[in-house]
Structure 1
Amino acid sequence: MTMLLVQGSYQVLNFQPDGDTVAFKPTNPKAFDELDGCPVKLDSKNIVRLRLEAIDALETHYSRTGPAVHQPLEFAHKAAEELLSFLGFTGVRHNGETVTAATPKEAPGFILTQGADKFGRCVALIGAGAPPAADGTQVNVDVALLRTTANHHMLATGLAYPTFYKKFLPELRAEMAAVAQQARTSGLGLWPSDVTTAPDGAVITGLPSLTGDVVILPKLFRRLVDHFNLVEPSLNGFPTFLAGGGDELVIEPAGTPELSLKPLVEIVNGGTAVRMTTSPEDIVFTEG
């Protein structure tokens, strides 16, 4: 698949990077004009927020429907640390989730993108150091190039979940799925603690269960938090809430279409726990 290569530098000071988002300042901000679809949102300093393609790390500050909440911070912070280390940062210090110091102050790199999500975040494969082609050119992204990216690295270390969208080429999805499965089999990173598809499910007794106890797919976490904030702080009615959520998707390899997450989620253990019936790498979402 071809993606636009944009050269620039990663920015961390006074930002809140996590395991799948980081700020980036393009060398040429007009490079994004070549993209179709939702426009990439740049701030007044021409800095854009990147969302890493095909992965999802545990949340450090989710606040779409209420006060900011997080998933278990052990793995959320490990993911953020691993990403910044891959990009070349050392000596990173924080005030809460905000970076207050790092060496260097910015790190050179490049991104490969097809465009932005509905929030204006640039969805990208991201690389450190010198780019493989000229700034602003279309690059054929194959498996070999994919393996050099932070996206691939985060799955290989077991510190992020595979989370795929339909624009991402099946050949590249297959590679990312394989490396995630290998990390799971090897017991790396968060996988020994993951209960997303565990037979007994993730026991949920309220919001503290989500923020401090259970390690689950971040998208499921976000939907649970939204349900708690907008409906009620229990699993009662959660499947009905999902049915109205509009998470259009396809289940692979059969290519079975679904209009929500509801068919993939079940309440177990007498209504005290929730689990997904499909592994994350077998789900392809239509939109983020």
Structure 2
Amino acid sequence: MPMLLIKGTFRLKGTQPDGDTVHFVADDPEEWKLVRARNPVQVAGGGEVKLRFEGIDALETHYHGEHQPLPLGRAAAAELLTWLGFNQVLRDHDETVTASTPESTPGYILTQGTDIYHRVVALVGRGAPPVPSGTDVTVDVPLLRQTANHHLAARGLVYPTFYRTLFRDLRLELTAAAEQARTAQQGLWPKDVSTTGFKITALSTITADVVILPKLFRRLVDHLHLGLSVSCFPAYLAGKEDKVTVLSTGERFVGLQHVVSVSNGDTVRLLHPVEDLLFDEA
């Protein structure tokens, strides 16, 4: 799978990194022009670009004023930052980093483009890159295994979450890493109830009590913030028109109501394992 490699540094101060988001500064800012993207890369004043990690989704630590169970969300963030080479990270009350040791660490990203929020969707590597910056490299399974994306999946700290741009061999490897962690009951997997189902009695059910797929969490938060009942959730999902394919059957749907059920008016369940779903970018 060909991807553009860009060399640079990871920086934390003033940002809110979590288990699948961190800021990156390219050594050569001109290389952002090489990113093939429908949505231009958004570069901040200090040259920082916000990354979204390809192929994984970590528990939310700050989403529209809400969060998922914080111990696991913070564990994913801590594991990522340690893997990147940060020894100490200080945060304030809203998860913003006030200081880190060191201030930055070297690394590189592998990317095919951006998402609708102008974040660069990337596989993330540390240290010296395997090829010169600004060039394309074929990303195979051995190279994927050198990334933070794979590391976090293998530790069971993130959900594998796939969009159409990620090639099948890389999806299968991330799935295998996640399945091994699930079998070993590592990380978030002992508490995951995405496919077994969970009864929502209040917003706190999903912010403090149960561990579920972050994409499902985000949709539920947006729905509940409107003051709507859980029983109306399928209609809300239909209106969002997220496009999803069930890989095991080849069925392609418009609207997550086809892969999410609500029973008894308050119990929500994902009908397929997350690794069996392939999402389209909005």
Match of 2:233 in 1: 238
Match of 1:53 in 2: 54
Contact 1:31 1:136 in 2 (8 A): yes
Match of 1:89 in 2: 86
1:163 is matched by which residue type in structure 2? T
Distance between the aligned counterparts of 1:32 and 1:283, measured in 2? 30
Tell me the alpha carbon deviations over residues 184-219 of structure 1, each in whole angstroms, 9 at most, x when there is no partner. 111000000000001xx1121121111111100000
Q: CA deviation at 1:102?
A: 1.6
Match of 2:22 in 1: 22
Distance between the aligned counterparts of 1:261 and 1:154, measured in 2? 26
Contact 2:39 2:115 in 1 (8 A): yes
1:276 is matched by which residue type in structure 2? L
Find the residue that maps to 2:17 and give its secondary structure.
coil
TM-score, normalising length: structure 2: 0.97
Distance between the aligned counterparts of 1:137 and 1:102, measured in 2? 31
Distance between the aligned counterparts of 2:277 and 2:225, measured in 1? 26
1:90 is matched by which residue type in structure 2? N
Q: Is 1:209 aligned to residue 205 of structure 2?
A: yes
Q: Is 1:10 aligned to residue 10 of structure 2?
A: yes
Distance between the aligned counterparts of 2:224 and 2:179, measured in 1? 31
Q: Is 1:188 aligned to residue 181 of structure 2?
A: no
Contact 2:231 2:262 in 1 (8 A): no
1:286 is matched by which residue type in structure 2? D
Match of 2:245 in 1: 250
Which has the higher mean CA deviation after the structures are superposed, 152-161 or 249-258?
249-258
Distance between the aligned counterparts of 2:100 and 2:227, measured in 1? 41
Give the 4+ runs in structure 1 shifted more than 3 A: none
Q: Give the counterpart of 2:280 among 241, 265, 286.
A: 286
Matched residues, number = 280
2:76 is matched by which residue type in structure 1? A
Tell me the alpha carbon deviations over residues 45-78 of structure 1, each in whole angstroms, 9 at most, x when there is no partner. 1110000000000001111xxxx11000010000
Find the residue that maps to 1:244 and give its secondary structure.
helix
Contact 2:69 2:209 in 1 (8 A): yes
Find the residue that maps to 1:42 and give its secondary structure.
coil
Find the residue that maps to 1:9 and give its secondary structure.
strand
Distance between the aligned counterparts of 2:120 and 2:114, measured in 1? 4
Which has the higher mean CA deviation after the structures are superposed, 72-81 or 271-280?
271-280
Distance between the aligned counterparts of 1:216 and 1:33, measured in 2? 37
Distance between the aligned counterparts of 1:116 and 1:272, measured in 2? 36
Match of 1:172 in 2: 170
Q: Which runs of 5+ in 2 are unaligned?
A: none
Q: Is 1:277 aligned to residue 277 of structure 2?
A: no
Find the residue that maps to 2:231 and give its secondary structure.
coil
Contact 2:231 2:266 in 1 (8 A): no
Computed over aligned residues only, the root mean square deviation of the Cα atoms, in angstroms, reads 1.0
Q: CA deviation at 1:231?
A: 4.8
Kindly, what percent of the aligned residue pairs are identical? 50
Q: Which runs of 5+ in 1 are unaligned?
A: none
Tell me the alpha carbon deviations over residues 161-185 of structure 1, each in whole angstroms, 9 at most, x when there is no partner. 0110000001111111111111111
Match of 1:44 in 2: 45
Q: CA deviation at 1:254?
A: 2.4
Find the residue that maps to 1:211 and give its secondary structure.
helix
